[in-house]
Amino acid sequence: MDKMTRRDSTKPARTGSTIDSILAQWRMARPDLDCRPMAVIGQLWRTSQIAMKAVEANLKHYDLDMAGFDVLLTLRRQDGGEDAGGALTPGDLARDMMLSPPAMTNRIDRLVARGLVERRADPDDRRALRVALTAAGRELADTAVKTHLEVEESLLADLAQHERDDLTRLLARIGQ
């Protein structure tokens, strides 16, 4: 190895290289490749990690993980009012959340054990069950979604609304 490729072990390794510096390194190493897609995807990953870390830190205040939070919010947004119920079958929940039925069952079991959701007999089909928020689950969902939105707002604070709208529109085009 020559001096140009060997790292000086007395200096700390660089961490947190910017996307621009990574692209510059690739331009030097492989000038035949257009590595600009790395900038977009790299920024998406970086942003996703920042957002997930902030959201997970907020959920720890409620002793929730993303899986449980997702179930609570899915049930809560189905709930049209104080007494509307918002009960869904486990299959409906799984479809709405794009999960397999066994994964949904595990999530429901954990929330039932905490008293946040309950399984109820389906009034239209005695063989089926529906999952609904308990009063404690509804209260937790309402509190957690409020602070969740505050966290998301803080992450987006530097973007004007039209920039947020543009970003949403552009990101929605990926993978269509």
Per the structure, the complete domain to which residue 125 belongs is given by 50-176
Q: For residue 75, how many other CB atoms are within 10 A of its CB?
A: 24
- Specify the pLDDT at position 152: 97
- Average of per-residue pLDDT across 28-54: 95
Residue 165, helix vs strand vs coil: helix
For the chain, the first-to-last Cα distance in angstroms comes to: 45
Q: Which amino acid is at 55?
A: V
Q: Which amino acid is at 7?
A: R
- Specify the pLDDT at position 3: 41
pLDDT higher than 80, residue 4:
no
The pLDDT tens digits for 47-83 are: 999 999 999 999 999 999 999 999 999 999 987 655 4
Instruction: Examine residue 22 and state whether it is found in any structural domain, yes or no.
Output: no
Q: Determine contact, residues 131/88, Cβ cutoff 8 Å.
A: yes
Domain count, the chain: 1
Instruction: Examine residue 146 and state whether it is found in any structural domain, yes or no.
Output: yes
Higher pLDDT among residues 16 and 35, named by residue: 35
- Specify the pLDDT at position 19: 86
| Domain CATH number, residue 68 | 1.10.10.10
Instruction: Examine residue 16 and state whether it is found in any structural domain, yes or no.
Output: no
Give the mean pLDDT of the chain. Answer: 87
pLDDT higher than 70, residue 1:
no
Sign of CA dihedral 52, 53, 54, 58: positive
Instruction: Examine residue 24 and state whether it is found in any structural domain, yes or no.
Output: no
Instruction: Examine residue 38 and state whether it is found in any structural domain, yes or no.
Output: no
Instruction: Examine residue 89 and state whether it is found in any structural domain, yes or no.
Output: yes
Across 20-24, 33-37, 125-129, 137-141, least confident range: 125-129
The pLDDT tens digits for 131-174 are: 999 999 999 999 999 999 999 999 999 999 999 999 999 999 99
pTM (2 d.p.) = 0.78
The residue among 50, 62, 90 whose CA lies nearest residue 74 is: 90
Sign of CA dihedral 101, 103, 106, 109: negative
- Specify the pLDDT at position 7: 39
As a whole number of angstroms, the distance between CA 153 and CA 144 comes to 14
